[in-house]
Chain A
Amino acid sequence: MSTKLLSMRDAVARYVGDGVSIAIEGFTAFICFAAGHEIIRQRRRDLTLIRMTPDVIYDQMIAAGVARRLVFSYLGNPGVGPLNCIRRAVEQGIPSPLEIEEYSHFGMVGRYIAGAARLPFYPLRSYIGSEMPGVNPRIKFVRSPYGDEEVAVVPPLNPDVAFIHAQRADTDGNTQVWGLLGVQKEVAFAAGKVIVVVEELVDESVIRADPNRTLIPGLIVDAVVHEPFGAHPSYVQGYYDRDNAFYLEWDEISRNQAATESWLEKWVYGVADRAEYTRKLGQETVGRLKPVASFSAPVSYGSHQ
């Protein structure tokens, strides 16, 4: 079997063409900034960006002009304030106009579930009394076939490509995650191509010793990228903390398109890859974000001869 191991540069070059739809998920945690930055560096255009919470990563990508369309459920710099670049795009068309398609959180979750399970829609008790269905005709209501009640439905979401950041995987892409699971499993099963990005590559035996922690099977994985610190400034449970100072700093930088562009020049176009980005961040920052270890008790799966 040919290896799935790729550099981020090769993974993006191979799987992310102009005009495709991509999901870089991870709810506050496990946000693969390394993938977003590589897409900016390779100057992709007309992408549909899909994410429940576009976060700073899509703020940066939209400021860099990679996107034509955004599918989302909450536009915020979490715990800080608005996403200034996305606001500029939506309110003023800077650097270019942005189409939006908007759901609630549960609506997005349901869309991924339907996409993963190849269902025509996902029913949920939401959107009643909300004006969201009025501005997004893809949110509909259907009558239950088992009674009189109406439920909202949302259509399946199948991104062309998904990037999943995680703690560890083997070279086949069997991927283990602990911490906030978000919609990582659902988006992986929904996507056409799946690229797993991990802090550590481990032997298959490490995966097999703890199968309950495996969220994504190698079966559905197309590429594995070993990219330590690839989720900074977001975080990876047990590996590094969220760089909240950066999230606050971004609120200042992003208020102005020129300042945003010079930031991109320095930290994205101006570095070759994530390793250089991490060196540029420096040991002080990397060290500051390292959490004190806190281990769970081991569990026994039993050995059966």
Chain B
Amino acid sequence: MTDQPYTASEMMITAAARALAGVRTVFVGVGLPNIACNLARRTVAPDLELIYEAGVFGARPTRLPLSIGDPALVTGSLCTMSMADLFGCYLQGGRIEVGFLGGAQVDRFGNLNTTAIASYTRPKVRLPGSGGACEIAIHARRLFYIMRLSKRAFVGRLDFRTSPGFLDGGDERRRLGMPGGGPQLVVTDKALFDFSGPDNEMRLVSLHPGIKVDEVTSEIGWPLCKASQMGETPAPTAGELECIRRELDPAGMYRN
């Protein structure tokens, strides 16, 4: 993609932003999801309210938040609250339409590992852990993942299941009484996936411009399900790129 007039991150940001069309409430993470949500609010989802796990509803950050609890998220927001209210009334209360998650590992049913590589008791790499991810995964009506494609991340078997996707597939989520609908979209640097494969398995639905199918399948640790009608992800428009570069991330912190 080196000859494209946009970066892989910009492609991921715009693809995620467009998927938020018409959405009212989104649980935002820092980094790419944050830029995607702010782009969506300026384009396809003008009524979008941004919710941050630090305890902010309706944030209007005037600068790129440097952390999940940036003071710029508080100033000008609609409501700042305790984390008990955030997790109890907003998230568990079913008020969150879309939650953004990612992880070190994801499997074919969208389960996520953010806890440890190798074993829990003797980790080769100790990862951050759940934070709010387990609750977001259970309660958000829809989950969007943003992750870079790699065989280390898209694995046949997780080293640890921190947050549930579709578990072992089929209707297991519903049987266990999870209120949220589970993962619906995976945005990567090469392609988009949904979970409309058999038993809610991850399915390749759209290739980014210039990407071939085998560049995707070679980075996936299981036999990948593919849509019968493969789409091409529309490239970022000049307007979207200008918004990202001038307004949302002028320093280019998340450019690459």
Q: A residues within 8 Å of B by Cβ?
A: 27-29, 52-53, 72-76, 78-80, 82, 86-87, 90-91, 102-106, 109, 113, 124-132, 135, 149-150, 178-183, 185-186, 235, 237, 241-242, 244, 247, 291, 294
A-B residue pairs in contact (CB < 8 Å), sample of 20 = A28-B67, A28-B69, A29-B54, A29-B71, A53-B131, A75-B126, A78-B68, A79-B31, A105-B53, A106-B132, A124-B87, A124-B135, A126-B135, A128-B177, A129-B164, A129-B178, A130-B134, A131-B162, A183-B83, A244-B67
Contact between chains at A237 and B83 (CB < 8 Å): no
Contact between chains at B83 and A91 (CB < 8 Å): no
What is the bound-complex CA distance between A76 and B31, given in angstroms?
14
What is the bound-complex CA distance between A244 and B71, given in angstroms?
12
Contact between chains at A125 and B92 (CB < 8 Å): yes
Contact between chains at A87 and B164 (CB < 8 Å): no
Contact between chains at A91 and B126 (CB < 8 Å): yes
Contact between chains at A182 and B164 (CB < 8 Å): no
Contact between chains at B138 and A79 (CB < 8 Å): no
Q: Does B160 contact A (CB under 8 A)?
A: yes
Contact between chains at A90 and B126 (CB < 8 Å): yes
Contacts of B68 in A (CB 8 A): 28, 78-79
Known A-B contacts A28-B67, A73-B129; the reply to A125 vs B55 at CB < 8 A is: no
Binds A, one of B18-26, B38-46, B74-82, B235-243: B74-82
- 13 additional contacts (CB under 8 A) given A79-B65, A79-B68, A104-B129: A28-B69, A29-B69, A53-B131, A79-B67, A86-B126, A87-B125, A105-B53, A109-B84, A126-B135, A129-B167, A132-B134, A179-B74, A242-B70
Contacts of B130 in A (CB 8 A): 73-74, 102-105, 130, 132
Contact between chains at A291 and B53 (CB < 8 Å): no
Q: Distance in Å from the Cβ of A149 to the closest Cβ of chain B?
A: 6
| A27 partner, pick from B55, B91, B124, beta carbons under 8 A | B55
Known A-B contacts A102-B129, A130-B163, A131-B162; the reply to A79 vs B134 at CB < 8 A is: no
Q: Does B66 contact A (CB under 8 A)?
A: yes
Contacts of A80 in B (CB 8 A): 67
Contacts of B138 in A (CB 8 A): 125-126, 128-129
Q: Does B56 contact A (CB under 8 A)?
A: yes
Q: Distance in Å from the Cβ of A95 to the closest Cβ of chain B?
A: 16
Among residues of A, the one whose C-beta sits closest to the C-beta of B73 is A180
Contact between chains at B134 and A104 (CB < 8 Å): yes
Contacts of B30 in A (CB 8 A): 78-79
| B131 partner, pick from A73, A183, A235, beta carbons under 8 A | A73
Contact between chains at A105 and B83 (CB < 8 Å): yes
Among residues of A, the one whose C-beta sits closest to the C-beta of B85 is A181
Q: Does B222 contact A (CB under 8 A)?
A: no
Q: Distance in Å from the Cβ of A64 to the closest Cβ of chain B?
A: 19
Q: Distance in Å from the Cβ of B160 to the closest Cβ of chain A?
A: 6
| B71 partner, pick from A74, A128, A183, A242, beta carbons under 8 A | A242
Contacts of A125 in B (CB 8 A): 92, 135, 138-139, 177, 179
Contact between chains at A129 and B69 (CB < 8 Å): no
B154-177 to A contact mask, C-beta < 8 Å, 1/0: 000000111110010000110011
The 3 closest A-B pairs by CB, nearest first: A28-B69, A129-B164, A74-B131
What is the bound-complex CA distance between A154 and B176, given in angstroms?
19
Q: Distance in Å from the Cβ of B129 to the closest Cβ of chain A?
A: 5
Contact between chains at A128 and B135 (CB < 8 Å): no
| A124 partner, pick from B56, B83, B92, B179, beta carbons under 8 A | B92
Contacts of B123 in A (CB 8 A): 90-91
Known A-B contacts A102-B129, A180-B74; the reply to A27 vs B69 at CB < 8 A is: yes
Contacts of B124 in A (CB 8 A): 91
Q: Distance in Å from the Cβ of A235 to the closest Cβ of chain B?
A: 6
Contacts of A291 in B (CB 8 A): 71
Contact between chains at A129 and B70 (CB < 8 Å): no
Contact between chains at A105 and B128 (CB < 8 Å): no
